[in-house]
Amino acid sequence: MTEGNFVDYVKIHVASGKGGSGSSHLHREKYVAKGGPDGGDGGRGGHVIVKGNKNLWTLYHLKFKRHIRAEHGSNGSKQRSTGAEGSDEYIEVPLGTVIRDTETQEIIHEITEDGKEYLIAEGGMGGRGNWHFKSSTNQTPRYSQPGIDGTEVDITLELKILADVGLVGFPNAGKSTLLSVITAAKPKIADYEFTTLKPNLGIVEYRDFKTFVVADIPGIIEGAAEGKGIGHRFLRHIERNSTLLFLVPADAPNISEQYEILLDELRRYNPEMLDKDRLIAISKSDMLDTELKLEMKHELDKNLGAPYLFISSVAQQGLTELKDRLWEMLNKETS
């Protein structure tokens, strides 16, 4: 998936269909005297329905759809014929999509199951035809009900990626490189900050044909929760990850301090993120010799409050151990 095709936030105006009007028809037929009222009911207006689709990964297909309208119901006709119902309009979204009311920002629903449908705008009911209103005292009603108007609402679709592991780190920590090595993903990699401007997903192939999904989240900087850098726009993608993998480069001035800054940004965005399992990977560790590694381990054991390991994506060092640790963390409840 290219960066330009990844869309995780769209606003749409949706409108359901209006119900058809009932008919005021009076029966006319040769040799049938005073046939009476036989006007049929109007058809229901079309619904607007949001449906989960596991084959979608982005909201790109909705990027240029600002208005979605369902079909109106048809009017009733003679011989008590009910008008046709308006066609329902389906909005297919990837799993992990949150539906909000744009005006109130209230969460309407979350789509997390494939094929699950949620009614966003209900179609208007069709009006009743005049044959419903006949009685002993009113044998020839010449009136019927109009159809009920449909519903209009502005909604915001917000995608939160459904991944098992979320990569968290400062710009240029090596997240994209790691993703490109342990998965088949091809994220943009370059020697400057904020290379990744959109989240990237990759599937890690583990032993015995087992897999898990890793999401590379655009780099966080100190103050991201206040909108610095690219802000906290992409932090919502970490909310659904069960495990967080923090990447801190081995040449960082202070590894423990960088980890605490990242942790603090997550805490300020959503304190519940700190309840997730955490693992720290010291990236670019191929530049360390054995003596320097032992010295760093001594410091990290004292100051780092989470499990860690040394890896190098370029030199392919420590990656098997990393996969093993992540798999254990993801499956510790079922083991």
Whether residue 8 is found in the same domain as residue 153: yes
Query: Is the confidence at residue 333, as pLDDT, over 80?
Result: no
In this prediction, residue 189 carries a pLDDT of 43
167 known member of a binding site: no
Most confident residue range from 50-59, 172-181, 198-207: 50-59
Residues 155, 170, single domain; the answer is no
Residue 114 confidence (pLDDT) above 50: yes
Q: Which of 3-12, 114-123, 168-177, 251-260 has the lowest mean pLDDT?
A: 3-12
Question: Running DSSP on this structure, what letter comes out for residue 278?
Answer: E
Q: What is the pTM of this model?
A: 0.67
- Dist. CA 254–CA 303, nearest whole Å: 10
Please provide the average confidence, as pLDDT, over all residues in the chain: 83
Does one domain contain both 215 and 234? yes
Domain boundary among 160, 179, 214: 160
Kindly indicate the confidence band of residue 198, based on its pLDDT and cuts at 50, 70 and 90.
low
Predicted pLDDT of residue 334: 47
Q: Does the annotation flag 175 for ligand binding?
A: yes
Grade residue 219 by pLDDT with cuts at 50, 70 and 90: low
Identify the pLDDT of residue 221: 54
Q: Is position 271 annotated in a ligand binding site? A: no
The count of structural domains within the chain is: 2
The answer to whether 24 is a known ligand-binding residue is no
Are residues 126 and 201 located together in one domain of the fold?
Answer: no
Residues 108-122 have a mean pLDDT of 92
Q: Say if residue 313 carries a ligand binding annotation.
A: yes
Q: Is 312 annotated to bind ligand? A: yes
State which of 116, 141, 160 marks the end of a domain: 160
Check whether 148 is labelled as a binding-site residue.
Answer: no
Give me the CATH number covering residue 192: 3.40.50.300
pLDDT band of residue 157 (cuts 50, 70, 90) is: very high
Query: Is 127 flagged in the annotation as binding?
Result: no
pLDDT of residue 232: 56
195 belongs to an annotated ligand binding site: yes
Q: Is the pLDDT of residue 230 over 70?
A: no
Domain end position, chosen among 160, 181, 197 = 160
**pLDDT attached to residue 192:** 35
Segment 88-104, tens digit of pLDDT: 999 999 888 999 999 99
Statement: residue 131 has pLDDT above 80: yes
Residue 30: pLDDT above 90?
Answer: no
Within this chain, do residues 223 and 250 fall inside the same structural domain, yes or no? yes
Residue 229 marked ligand-binding: no
The domain of 60 spans 1-160
**Residue 169 assigned to a binding site:** yes
In sequence order, the 6+-apart residues with CB closer than 8 A to the CB of 310 are 250, 281, 282, 285, 288, 293, 317, 318
Whether 280 and 138 map to the same domain: the answer is no
What pLDDT is recorded for position 223? 52
User: Are 140 and 202 in the same domain?
Assistant: no
CA distances in angstroms from 329 to 206, 207, 263, listed in the order given: 14, 15, 19
Judged against a pLDDT cut of 60, whether residue 227 lies above it is answered with no
Same domain, 100 and 140: yes
What lies within 8 Å, CB to CB, of 200 at 6+ separation is 1, 176, 179, 185, 187, 215, 216
Mean pLDDT value across residues 185-200: 49
Q: Are residues 79 and 175 in the same domain?
A: no
The pLDDT score that the predictor gives to residue 196 is 44
pLDDT at 240 over 50: yes
Same domain, 89 and 174: no
Annotation-wise, does 284 bind a ligand? yes
Do residues 63 and 192 both lie within one domain? no
Question: Any binding-site annotation on 194?
Answer: yes
The average pLDDT across 136-152 equals: 90
Helix residue ranges per DSSP H, the chain: 175-182, 255-269, 290-303, 319-330
Overall average pLDDT of the 234-255 stretch: 81
Q: Judge whether 216 is annotated as a binding position.
A: yes
* 227 annotated as ligand-binding: no
27: confidence class by pLDDT, cuts 50, 70, 90: confident
Based on the domain organization, do 95 and 140 belong to the same domain?
yes
Is 161 within any annotated ligand binding site? no
Q: Is 310 annotated as a binding residue?
A: no
Is 34 assigned to a binding site?
A: no
Q: What percent of the chain has pLDDT over 90?
A: 33
The CATH number covering residue 22 comes to: 2.70.210.12
